[in-house]
Structure 1
Amino acid sequence: MGNSPPASVGLSHDAAVNQIQETIADNCVVIFSKTTCVYCKMAKKLFEDMNVNYTAVELDMNTNGSQFQDILEQMTGGRTVPRVFVNGTFVGGAAETQRLHKEGKLLPLVHQCQLKIKS
Structure 2
Amino acid sequence: MAGIQQKVDEKVNSRKVYVISKSYCPFCKQAKDILKKYTEDIGVWEIDSANDMKAIQKYLETKTGASSVPRVFINGEFIGGCDKIKSLHSSKELQKMLG
Runs of 4+, deviation exceeding 6 Å: none
Q: CA deviation at 1:95?
A: 0.8
CA contact (8 A) 1:47 1:53 kept: no
**What is the aligned partner in structure 1 of residue 24 from structure 2?**
36
Q: CA deviation at 1:108?
A: 2.4
Q: CA deviation at 1:22?
A: 1.0
Match of 2:40 among 40, 52, 66: 52
The equivalences for 1:1-119 within 5 A come to 13-111=1-99
Letter in 1 for 2:66: G
Count of matched residue positions in the alignment of Structure 1 and Structure 2: 99
Structure 2: stretches of 5+ with no match in the other structure: none
Q: CA deviation at 1:48?
A: 1.9
Find the aligned partners of 1:65 and 1:110 in 2 and give their Cα distance: 29
Letter in 1 for 2:85: T
Identity %: 29
Aligned residues: CA RMSD: 1.3
What secondary structure does 2:19 align onto?
Answer: strand
TM-score using structure 1 length:
0.77
What secondary structure does 1:36 align onto?
Answer: coil
Larger Rg: 1
Find the aligned partners of 1:28 and 1:53 in 2 and give their Cα distance: 6
Structure 1: stretches of 5+ with no match in the other structure: 1-12, 112-119
TM-score using structure 2 length:
0.91
Which fold has the larger relative contact order, with Cα–Cα distance below 8 Å and residues 6 or more apart in sequence? Answer: 2
